[in-house]
Amino acid sequence: MIPSVPSGKPAPPAEKPWPAGGQDTSVVVNPRSRELTLYIGNVPYKTYKIAPGKPETPTPVGEFRVVSKSKDWGSGFGTRWIGLNVPWGTYGIHGTNKPHLIGTEASHGCIRMRNRDVEDLYERVGIGTKVIILGHVLGEPHRDPRRLAKGDAGGDVLLIQNRLRAAGFFHGACNGRFGPATEQAMKAFERQNGLPVDGVVGLHDYRALGLLE
């Protein structure tokens, strides 16, 4: 028997049935729209609202894999943790104890979800599931890229390291971590290009490296 729907209130859409076993699942995260979409093959199955990183602590951009899953990782991480293989730090998809911030830029780089949503996603992804995070490594086009200094980490740091290496200034590991070797390489680049020598990546450094017009 189909229950009646009150006049003027459309029935909520029924969730698509979850296909049995062996599904080729993947996840696409769009920080700009604050959405995470689960795919089966090339077909979107379900979309959830998220809270990505703040501008100063951005969510990493690129293609990653699920490498760990855990329940009740800690109170600030909600009820589920789905870890990603980001090379420069510990990042993942997790729940939250601040659901009112979902839909805003609120995290330190992780992807926050409502607990009920991350619990649902947790059951539908496995170790090795591909996670694609959309965006530009330098951030949103309407914002200046973040200022980088020793102690920072991220895809933007990795980009700087690769540029410095190509120019012959950096000989360390390109790992997305801004350590002493990156700082010294940045100072050498600044010195040669007549820039303020502070080892900090500001707008003038981005321009000199050919990353901004």
Q: What is the CATH number of the domain that holds 109?
A: 2.40.440.10
- Residue 123's alpha-carbon distances to 22, 80, 81, 82, 83, in angstroms, are 13, 10, 11, 11, 14
pLDDT (0 to 100) of residue 8: 53
Report the pLDDT value the prediction gives residue 74, as an integer from 0 to 100: 75
How high is the mean pLDDT in each 10-residue block of the chain (213 residues)?
45 56 84 97 96 95 97 86 96 96 96 97 97 94 93 96 97 96 98 98 97 89
Contacts of 81 (CB under 8 A, 6+ apart): 68, 69, 70, 71, 73, 92, 93, 94
Asked if residue 173 and residue 123 are part of one domain, the reply reads no
Do 55 and 129 belong to one domain?
yes
The verdict on 49 and 103 lying in the same domain is: yes
Determine the pLDDT at residue 119. Answer: 97
Indicate if 97 and 40 belong to the same structural domain. yes
* Burial of 18 (C-beta count, 10 Å sphere; 0-12/13-18/19+): middle
| List 94, 136, 171, 174, catalytic entry | 94
Instruction: Report the domain count for the chain.
Output: 2
Give the pTM: 0.84
Asked if 104 and 172 sit in the same domain, the reply is no
Do residue 43 and residue 117 come from a single domain?
A: yes
Q: CB within 8 A of 208, min separation 6: which ones?
A: 189, 190, 193, 195
Place of tokens 């951009």: 61
Cα(36)–Cα(133) distance, integer angstroms: 9
Please say if 136 is a catalytic residue: no
Residues 166 and 199 occupy one common structural domain: yes
213 lies in some domain: no
The domain that holds 183 is classified in CATH as: 1.10.101.10
Concerning whether 108 is annotated as a catalytic residue, the answer is no
202/170 same-domain check: yes
1 inside domain: no
- The whole-number pLDDT of residue 213 equals 81
133 phi, psi to nearest 5 deg: -110, 115
Within a domain: 32: yes
- Is 72 inside a domain boundary? yes
State the amino acid at position 68 in one-letter form: S
Same domain, 126 and 30: yes
Q: Give the range of the structural domain holding residue 71, as residue numbers without chain letter.
A: 25-133
- Does 185 share its domain with 119? no
What pLDDT, on the 0 to 100 scale, is given for residue 5?
A: 41
pLDDT of residue 1: 37
> DSSP string covering 20-88, please?
PS---EEEEEETTTTEEEEEETTEEEEEEE-B-BBTTBPPP-EEEEEEEEEE---GGGTTEEEEE--TT
Count Cβ atoms below 10 Å from residue 145 Cβ, excluding itself.
22
Catalytic residue among 108, 110, 142, 174: 110
* pLDDT at residue number 141: 83
- 154: its two tokens: 């991220």
